[in-house]
Amino acid sequence: METKKIFLTEDEIPRQWYNINADIKMNPPLGPDGKPVSPDMLAPVFPMNLIEQEVSAERWIDIPEGVLEVLNIWRPSPLVRAYALEKALGTPARIYYKWEGVSPPGSHKPNTAVAQAYYNKEFGIKRLTTETGAGQWGSALAFACSQYGLECKVFMVRISFDQKPYRKTMMATWGANCIASPSSETKAGRDILEKMPDTPGSLGIAISEAIEAAVTDETGQTRYSLGSVLNHVLMHQTIIGLEAKKQMEKISEYPVVIIGCAGGGSNFAGLAFPFVYDKINGKDIAIHPVEPAACPTMTRALFAYDHGDTAGMTPLLPMHSLGHTFIPPPLHAGGLRYHGMAPQVSQLIDEGVLEPKAFPQMATYEAGMLVARTEGFISAPETNHALACVVDEAKKAKEEGKEKVILFNFSGHGLIDLGAYEQFLAGQLSDYEYPAQEIEEAEKILEQYPKPEHIKSR
């Protein structure tokens, strides 16, 4: 019988995270004065132990035992050969996926939520605030806070708050307070509601609210927690790719195509960055972050300095951005509706190390249905974007008659997203192409900020 799943033992779980800042050059984040942000400027938002990770240039960062104890609930996660999908596509490609849906919240997100909750607890913080789009990050942080005895408040993008009621229930089960964003609880939320009372919300707005709620707490015992974009977040996720490397070594395989969906960049970077290290050291591999055509941050937006939130409370980050005032269309892949992309991912795109792809909504659900009816798992709408790219690459391999190894991150299950599948099956979903005029408007907004340098890391 052919091997379907490749496992690691608990003793083989990586003991360090990979910090890609050791191997690439980056434009620094900028403050309101246009000067690089200092660690002290971030102290009201994050605990200093996480700030130290954010600015570190050490290649390997030890994972504390207190983090590993919780990660061991579900890690190491399995690597799976998608034999049935290969057969259905008639491809000579060998397709593997890292199955991150085995975590308690059902996605990759707890890999960093657990680490962030641990470091905040160690620093003496009592409560965390955050934003969430589809609810995967909010439920992951709620889970992590329950493990370390922290309070948790989640501002959830209004459209997803309405579309995905069971995400709220998950958060409540783990003890978190989830409210729709924009809300009347913050100045940022009230300002948006006054201008646009019927807004579907956005991750940028929810981030503004969560940061405001953290920095205005007079007790000083609240901090903000972010599920993507920043260095320490992406670094915590590299446990995915580091495990995958060990698993592929066990079966003498190595991928030539690596794929992950990308909203802010965390699950993609978690799988890809350990292989990016190989690519910048000479390996010939194609690495594709995949996004919705309706939110084309990587494929159509400028590489520019922009705020990470709508109210402009964050530093200016060097990233591909549709503009921080971007209000996304209410597509069901809520975790991919962010206006910007992680600076490290953006930098690697700018250098040509990564090759981003965009797919329309219908193609992603068709891929999700194919995988559900072959491999069995119902995937999250976000993951469906990676699947659409996998199907595309497998078909190319068939046309070329080439054997190739494709590795993708199955970033989460879709069992809380069945409402979206119901709409797809009923013919109620459609494609949406982000208008060129809106891209032009975003470019005008970005003109007021400094321009990042087009750095070559090597």
The 10s digit of each residue's pLDDT in 433-455 is 888 888 888 888 899 999 999 88
Domain ranges of the chain: 64-106+232-446
The confidence band for 78, taking pLDDT boundaries of 50, 70 and 90, is very high
Task: Count CB-CB contacts under 10 A for residue 201.
Answer: 32
Q: What is the mean pLDDT of the chain?
A: 94
State yes or no: pLDDT of 121 exceeds 70. Answer: yes
- Band (pLDDT 50/70/90 cuts) for residue 326 is confident
CB atoms under 10 Å from CB of 103, counted, come to 24
Q: CA-CA distance, 449 to 109, in Å (whole number)?
A: 31
Q: What is the pLDDT of residues 20-61, one digit of tens each?
A: 999 999 999 999 888 999 999 999 999 999 999 999 999 999
pLDDT, mean of residues 108-119 = 98
Q: 95 and 46 in contact (C-beta within 8 Å)?
A: no
Rounded distance, CA 108 to CA 243, Å?
A: 13
Residue 306 CA to residue 258 CA, distance in Å, equals 28
376-397 mean pLDDT? 97
CA gap 83, 75 in Å, rounded: 23
5-6 sheet: strands from edge to edge: 5-6, 79-81, 94-99, 405-410, 257-261, 286-292, 357-359
Cα-Cα end-to-end distance for the chain: 45
User: What's the pLDDT score for residue 388?
Assistant: 98
**Residue 349 pLDDT class (50, 70, 90 cuts):** very high
Give the pair of three-digit tokens for residue 33. Answer: 């004065």
For residue 373, the 8-state DSSP code is T
Selected residue with higher pLDDT from 325 and 398: 398
The Cβ of residue 282 has, within 10 Å, a number of other Cβ atoms equal to 6
CATH number of 64-106+232-446: 3.40.50.1100
Phi, psi of 68 (to 5 degrees): -60, -35
* pLDDT, average across residues 360-372: 97
Query: How does residue 7 score in pLDDT terms, banded at 50, 70 and 90?
Result: very high
Cα(417)–Cα(429) distance, integer angstroms: 14
Mean pLDDT of 381-390: 96
pLDDT of 193 above 90: yes
Q: Is the pLDDT of residue 330 over 90?
A: no
The pLDDT confidence band at residue 334, using thresholds 50, 70 and 90, is low
Rg (alpha carbons) of the chain, rounded to whole number: 20
Among 201, 128, 138, 202, residue whose Cα is nearest residue 170: 138
What whole-number distance in Å separates Cα of residue 10 and Cα of residue 28?
Answer: 37
Burial zone of 296 (CB within 10 Å; 0-12 exposed, 13-18 middle, 19+ buried) = middle
Handedness of CA 44, 38, 113, 351 (dihedral sign): positive
**Rounded Cα gap, residues 372 and 393, in angstroms:** 18
The length of the chain, given as a count of residues: 458
Bridge-based pairing of strands 257-261 and 405-410 is parallel
Other Cβ atoms within 10 Å of 398 Cβ, number: 15
Question: From CA 286, how far away is CA 353, in angstroms rounded?
Answer: 8
pLDDT digits (tens, 9 = 90+) for 284-322: 999 999 999 999 999 999 999 999 888 788 899 999 999
- CA 163, CA 416: separation in Å to the nearest integer? 10
pLDDT confidence of residue 234: 98
* pLDDT at residue number 160: 84
- Which of 267, 133, 258, 280 has the alpha carbon at shortest distance from 201? 133
Starting at the edge strand found earlier in the chain, the sheet holding 177-181 runs: 177-181, 151-157, 127-132, 222-224
Helix (H), strand (E) at residue 130: strand 127-132
Residue 456, both tokens: 């070559």
> pLDDT tens across 133-176, in order?
878 999 999 999 999 999 999 999 998 898 888 999 999 999 99
Sign of the Cα torsion 407, 409, 413, 417 reads negative
392 class by beta-carbon count within 10 Å (0-12 exposed, 13-18 middle, 19+ buried): middle
pLDDT at 424 over 80: yes
Q: In whole angstroms, what is the distance from residue 41 CA to residue 48 CA?
A: 10
pLDDT (mean) for 78-104: 98
Residue 269: phi, psi to the nearest 5?
A: -65, -35
Please give the structure tokens belonging to residue 137: 């990050």
> What local confidence, expressed as pLDDT, does residue 442 receive?
82
Q: Which residues contact 89 (CB under 8 A, 6 or more apart)?
A: 391, 394, 395, 398
Query: Containing H/E element for 407?
Result: strand 405-410
Distance of CA 355 to the CA centre of its chain: 17
**pLDDT at residue 457 tops 70:** no
Binning the chain into helix, strand and coil, the percentages to the nearest 5 are 45, 15, 40
Positive or negative, the CA dihedral 68, 69, 71, 72 is positive
- The predicted structure's pLDDT at residue 251: 96
408 — pLDDT class (breaks 50, 70, 90): very high
pTM, 2 dp: 0.96
* DSSP H or E stretch at residue 87: helix 83-89
